[in-house]
């Protein structure tokens, strides 16, 4: 089997983690990298053993590149992905797919019209803990799910990132709220309506280098999301409280006969607990030995395998576009004070092969 070739666009903080994964897969060949910064692209190429592209045009003109991994800034996702799709490349984009549902839906339609694949992060639902959680739900371990609580307490970005302003311009909802929303939609399917509230908490912030800056995008968002079938999700996102400083974390599924708690929507080795209403919570072993932390390249590898096997890939652009519609509806709701209806649909992803057979315990 000839490895499929992959190129990375955007060599920021997360690119090294992706490159380490992609370079280690025998069925993928990390061919090259590109970034507007010559220093960043040279550093990632040196660390990963890949070539340097000096322009996006050079990368897209390379017929050997099968898949482009778009790791650019949030505001560039739509432009870069659309250029790659038009060049006939399959694309896996970092989250969110776009900053408006119209742009996200345009990318989905473009990929389908051209006949190439479009995948998108976050794909933490492919992790061992998350796949175990989804299987327990499919097996009816806690009965029909009626309430879900998801907490995204992501702390103060300026405490660790050298350039935090971009994150605050996007806000915690679009930056990290996408993680539990993707997991919950994978479990429950499409959402139908949202009602939300938001506020700017601590508008005056200070960078690591001591320079002050002011934020205007809400840094605290609470949303109620209604799903087909009647299940309700309460989603909380903020860039103020650190996850290590609160007991409110992860995702909790509450059903008619019990509850299922996943400590982290982020890490593949998250702790899981399940319990009936008549008893206490008990730990649940994952379906297989989990990856420590997050395997960032897992969805790209699944995309490549799906192309070879002519099957649907799991982290789809269509689901990602639905999540973007939820994000935009939440923003519209907290800006207008009204409930906002949703229209898009998607097919929930298939379980990983190792999570599909037998009943979980």
Q: Tell me if the bond preceding 146 is cis, omega within 30° of 0.
A: no
For position 361, what pLDDT does the model report? Answer: 45
In terms of C-beta density within 10 A (0-12 exposed, 13-18 middle, 19 or more buried), how is residue 216 classed?
Answer: exposed
Q: Tell me if the bond preceding 96 is cis, omega within 30° of 0.
A: yes
Q: Which candidate, 282, 300, 319, 273, places its Cα nearest to that of 9?
A: 300
For position 1, what pLDDT does the model report? Answer: 65
Phi and psi at residue 48, to the nearest 5°: -105, -10
For position 278, what pLDDT does the model report? Answer: 84
* 34: enclosing H helix or E strand: strand 28-34
10-residue mean pLDDT profile of the chain (361 residues): values are 92 96 97 97 97 98 98 96 98 97 98 98 98 98 98 96 92 96 98 98 97 98 96 98 92 98 98 93 97 98 97 98 98 98 97 81 45
For position 358, what pLDDT does the model report? Answer: 58
């Amino acid at each position: 089997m000839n490895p499929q070739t992959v190129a990375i666009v955007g060599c920021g903080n997360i690119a090294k983690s992706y490159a380490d994964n992609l370079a280690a897969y025998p069925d993928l060949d990390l061919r090259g990298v590109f970034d507007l910064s010559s220093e960043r692209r040279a550093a990632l190429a040196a660390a990963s053993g890949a070539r340097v592209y000096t322009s996006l045009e050079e990368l897209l003109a390379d017929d050997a590149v099968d898949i482009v991994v778009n790791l650019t800034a949030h505001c560039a996702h739509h432009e870069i992905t659309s250029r790659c799709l038009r060049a006939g490349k399959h694309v896996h984009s970092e989250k969110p797919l776009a900053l408006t549902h119209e742009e996200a839906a345009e990318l989905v339609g473009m990929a389908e019209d051209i006949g190439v694949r479009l995948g998108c992060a976050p794909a933490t639902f492919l992790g061992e803990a998350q796949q175990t959680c989804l299987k327990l739900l499919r097996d009816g371990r806690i009965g029909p799910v009626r309430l879900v609580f998801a907490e995204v307490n992501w702390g103060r970005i300026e405490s660790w990132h050298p350039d935090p302003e971009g994150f605050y311009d996007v806000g915690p909802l679009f930056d990290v709220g996408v993680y539990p929303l993707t997991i919950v939609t994978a479990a429950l399917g499409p959402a139908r309506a949202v009602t939300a509230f938001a506020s700017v908490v601590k508008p005056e912030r200070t960078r690591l280098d001591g320079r002050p800056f002011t934020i205007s995008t809400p840094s605290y968002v609470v949303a109620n999301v209604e799903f087909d079938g009647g299940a309700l999700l309460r989603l909380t996102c903020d860039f103020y409280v650190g996850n290590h400083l609160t007991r409110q974390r992860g995702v909790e599924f509450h059903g008619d006969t019990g509850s299922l708690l996943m400590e982290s929507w982020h890490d593949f080795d998250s702790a899981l607990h399940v319990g009936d209403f008549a008893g206490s919570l008990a730990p649940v072993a994952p379906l297989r030995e989990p990856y420590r932390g997050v395997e960032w390249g897992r969805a790209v590898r699944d995309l490549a395998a799906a192309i070879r096997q002519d099957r649907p890939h799991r982290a789809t652009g269509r689901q990602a576009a639905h999540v973007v519609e939820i994000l935009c509806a939440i923003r519209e709701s907290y800006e207008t004070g009204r409930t906002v209806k949703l229209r898009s649909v998607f097919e929930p992803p298939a379980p990983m092969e190792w999570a599909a057979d037998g009943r979980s315990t």
